Amino acid sequence: MDIRAVAVDGMNLRVATSAGRPGALPLFFFNGIGANLELLRGFADEMQQLGIGIVAFDVPGTGGSSDPPGPYRLAWLASLSCALLVSLGIEGQVDVGGVSWGGGIAQEFTHRYPLRVRRLLLAATSAGAVSLPGAPAAFVKLLDPRRYTDRDFMLRIGGELYGGKLRGNPQLLERYADSLRAPRSTGYGLQLRALVGWTSAHWLRSVQQPTLVMAGTDDPIVPLANGRFLAAMIPHARLVTIDDGHLFLVTSARECAQIIADFLGEDRPRGTGAQHAPYADAAPAQGNG
């Protein structure tokens, strides 16, 4: 990944891009809560091997991006994301994806800028406030920022928190811990606050993009039932389960990259809009989300 700073709306965003094959749309990808770009490196490398480039950025207050001007909602992040694409000179459509917390931004972006989105990928995520909560023990650990700042703490609780291949595999967990970059406490708190009360449930049926929903079979944070709900509510969605935990895009990167690349390369169903809608026509959908 090529990582650089990009000025957008008075902030410096730390942005990562990787090149895809000629003519392929980039995958505009939203990371999980508190997550920095380095955590996507393995997944981005696998996608690039399959000809798919990625665009991602550290959310304001995390990684190397500057702090946001104040509290925000996911609608603001969707608007900022659209402005970032303009700053990068990316016009027309992109494929959009998000994992966990970032899956909420991916849904919000698709809802507000539908003509910007060709296909949608939702990984280990939910519809927000109406979702089935994860295991209480995992939720408590998820809220604890020590998982980013205390490596020993992460090594103790990571398997129980994330499930899947990280259970009982200290070497894999160590590699994950080595990639972490602690978010600033203010930024992490604002990310938590942005999701409070948010839900996509009341407009999911309006999402017309072909959608791939991916869910881990051993995910203590976002149980599989949430993936089933998203796939049932979105008209052109299908669910693929991964025999892994919450971080399957990291711990099963090669398997997941192939599934995603196959999905992005499928012929587009009829009735879902032009393949390359110009940005000038991509007005945001109405509503507060």
Q: Which residues are catalytic?
A: 100
Q: Which helix (H) or strand (E) holds 113?
A: none
Segment 189-197 long-range contacts (CB within 8 Å, at least 24 positions apart): 190/61, 190/68, 190/71, 190/72, 191/33, 191/34, 191/59, 191/61, 191/62, 191/101, 192/33, 192/143, 193/71, 194/71, 194/72, 194/73, 194/74, 194/76, 194/77, 195/74, 195/101, 195/104, 195/128, 197/129
Kindly give the residue spans of alpha helices, DSSP state H, lying in 50-127: 74-87, 101-112
Tell me the HSE value of 157 on the side-chain side, using a 13 A CA sphere: 19
How is residue 89 written in tokens? 């000179």
